[in-house]
Structure 1
Amino acid sequence: MPDTHSFPDEHSPVGSSIFYAIRFAPPRNRSSLSLINAFYRTVRSIPLTCSDPGVASEKLNWWQQEIKRSRLSQAQHPIAKSMGRLQLLQTLPEDYFDPFFHAIGREIGVISIENDADLEAHCRQTGALFADLNALIGGADDSQRKSARELGAFLRMVEVVRDLGFDLRHNRRFIPFDSLQQHR
């Protein structure tokens, strides 16, 4: 993919771990990797940066529509414009991002994960998608992409544990309700 997204950017600042992960990738992949990182972090931040759930829902919906418009070269946001080119280059199905947007939508307002299967599905819809895109850009085959998705879901679960205190202080409970009841 031609350089369509700058690197480093606000989502991969110099000195950060994501900066070095992208920096040591093959030069031909850096722009695409920086792009998907910017997209992922921009959308993932919506539930945390919008205090009004209505505004957060509208913003998320706008991004979802913007990604759909990007496939038709009708997007307005620079990240979405570049995502349109990436989607076509990687021949991603039209509904590829739908589970991701659905999972982020569930993070708006008070989060309530009911059971382990619900948490696992959430981690697959968020972390696995990001890892799959990284693997796809790197030229991974189907087996490698499957492994990347498993790793991405696991890394998202690690983030859940890492951010547990912050999330609980902000009415975001990612630990399954049935697990909390078992350990009362």
Structure 2
Amino acid sequence: MSDHSLAPQNTGLHQLPPLGSSLYYALHMVPSAHRALMRDWWHWWHEISSIPFNVQDPGVAEAKLTWWDQEIQQASGGQASHPLTQSMFSGRSAQGREARLPELPLWRSQINGQINLVHQTRWLDAASLELHVDQTTGSAAEGCAVILGAHSPQARQAARSLGIGWRQIHQLARLGQDARAGWVHVPVNVLQEHNVKAHELTKPAPQAGPNFPKLLDSLSASASSRIKDALQAIRKLPRAERKAMRPLVALSWMQLALLREIQNSQDRILHERLLLTPLKKWWIATQVRIGWLS
């Protein structure tokens, strides 16, 4: 297999985030000097995280991720070959920008986390799933803080915690969809603690079993507390960093609103993916922008 065949196809740098998505409304809150780089970072994040789910052969998936790892290292040395990395490292995002690129370990952490995932069993324990989420979405969210200009250790840690909470809620919202595809994003030991069998997620009955509501409450509480603690930490940051982090705060309130929908729907998440309407996302972003939510 040639290196050229492993390289992702250029589908255009402006297609993400999709109109009406949470990232779409958050991106419009990013200052113009940072916006192009943030859009490209989110685009790259999407490219990396989709590989384990879209590529069935673990060897091919690892090869594609390894290609990206090599590309990022070459790009950091001024030899980017993909339009996305050219844009981020030496193109329009780099010319006179105020934002700075996330450090190389934040890129490589995401790649390594995805490589580990394609070779692991899809039935993870709590420690393994926590590590994966921290390596991937946690690193991606910390990179967002760097691009936005929130560079202090406290800001970066808060962003990382937000990312973990986002991912937990994202996994809940598509719990049934992913489970039917073979990805059970509930740790095995947590299923056992709540006496819920894996087949109740992978092949759900029309009505969930009696123990499912308590499992849902437990998973919801974990995600909610992670995000709320991180939001509280952001409120303690200096004013400039609090302002810089507003797009991430907006994303977090959107996720908390989605979590309420999940809790109210109970077992609907076993049969369909739940999403907030664009209007609700817009309204949350507006409230964060004018200071009604923080």
TM-score range, shorter chain: 0.7 to 0.9
SS in structure 1 at match of 2:131: helix
Change beyond 3 A, Cα 1:91–1:130: closer
Structure with higher Rg: it is 2
Q: Does 1:129 align with 2:139?
A: yes
What's 1:146 paired with? 157
- 1:18, 1:47 → 2: CA distance? 21
Gaps (5+ residues) in structure 1?
1-6
TM-score, reference length from structure 1: 0.84
Gaps (5+ residues) in structure 2?
1-11, 196-294
Supply the AA of the counterpart residue of 1:50: V
- 1:94, 1:32 → 2: CA distance? 15
Structure 1 counterpart of 2:81, from 72, 76, 79 = 76
Q: Does 1:106 align with 2:116?
A: yes
TM-score, reference length from structure 2: 0.55
Structure 1 residue 43: Cα displacement: 0.7
Structure 1 residue 8: Cα displacement: 7.7
Supply the AA of the counterpart residue of 2:178: D
What's 1:120 paired with? 130
Change beyond 3 A, Cα 1:165–1:178: same
Identity, % of aligned positions: 31
What's 1:4 paired with? none
What's 1:169 paired with? 180
What's 1:11 paired with? 16
Whether the aligned pair in 1 keeps the contact of 2:133 and 2:167 (CA below 8 Å) is yes
- 1:144, 1:84 → 2: CA distance? 24
Corresponding pairs, count: 176
Whether the aligned pair in 2 keeps the contact of 1:46 and 1:60 (CA below 8 Å) is yes
- 1:111, 1:82 → 2: CA distance? 34
Supply the AA of the counterpart residue of 1:129: S
Change beyond 3 A, Cα 1:53–1:127: same
Alignment root-mean-square deviation, CA: 2.3
What's 2:30 paired with? 25
SS in structure 2 at match of 1:97: helix
- 1:14, 1:94 → 2: CA distance? 30
Structure 1 residue 97: Cα displacement: 2.2
